[in-house]
Amino acid sequence: MISVSEALDRLFALVTPLEAEEVPLQQAAGRVLARPVTAQRDQPPFAASAMDGYGVTEAAPGMRLRVIGEAAAGERFTGSVGPGEAVRIFTGAPVPDGVKTVVIQEDVDRNGDEILITDRLGNGDNIRPYGNDFRAGETVSAPRRLTPQDIALLAAMNIAQVPVARRPKVALISTGDELVMPGETPGPDQIIASNTFGLYALLQELGAEPRLLPIARDSEASLQTVLGLADDADLVITIGGASVGDRDLVAKVAGDLGLERAFHKVAMRPGKPLMSGRLGDAMMLGLPGNPVSAMVCGHIFMAPVIRAMLGLGSEPAPRESLPLARAIPANGPREHYMRARLGTAGVSVFERQDSSLLSVLGAADALVVRPPNDPARAAGELVEIVRI
Q: Using alpha carbons only, give the angle 278, 281, 285 rounded to the nearest 5 degrees.
A: 35
Residue 140: how many other CB atoms lie within 10 Å: 18
Which of 193, 253, 266, 386 contacts ligand AMP by CB under 6 A?
193
Cis bond leading into 270, ω under 30°? yes
* H or E stretch at 70: strand 64-71
Q: Does 276 bind ligand AMP (CB under 6 A)?
A: no
Cα angle 304, 306, 20 (rounded to 5 degrees) comes to 130
In angstroms, what is the minimal distance from the CB of 253 to Mg ion?
Answer: 13
Q: Is 210 in the site for ligand AMP (CB under 6 A)?
A: no
Query: 89 forms bridges with which residues in the sheet?
Result: 53, 71
The terminus-to-terminus CA distance of the chain in angstroms comes to: 25
Interface region with ligand AMP, contact rule CB under 6 A, candidates 47-55, 87-95, 158-166, 241-249: 241-249
51: CB partners within 8 A, 6+ apart: 91, 102, 104, 105, 126
Which of 3, 91, 190, 194 touches ligand AMP by CB under 6 A? 194
The verdict on 179 binding ligand AMP (CB under 6 A) reads yes
> Which segment (91-99, 191-199, 303-311, 327-335) binds ligand AMP by CB under 6 A?
191-199
Residue 355 contacts ligand AMP per CB under 6 A: no
- Residue 240 interacts with Mg ion (CB under 5 A)? yes
Torsion, Cα 362 364 365 369, to 10 degrees, reads -130
Q: Given the complex with ligand AMP, which of 44 and 176 has the nearer CB atom?
A: 176
Q: With binding defined as CB under 5 A, does residue 286 bind Mg ion?
A: no
In the shown chain, the binding pattern of residues 244 to 273 toward ligand AMP, with x for contact by CB under 6 A and - for none, equals -x--x-------------------------
Question: Residues interacting with ligand AMP, by CB under 6 A?
Answer: 174, 176, 178-179, 191, 193-196, 239-243, 245, 248, 288-291
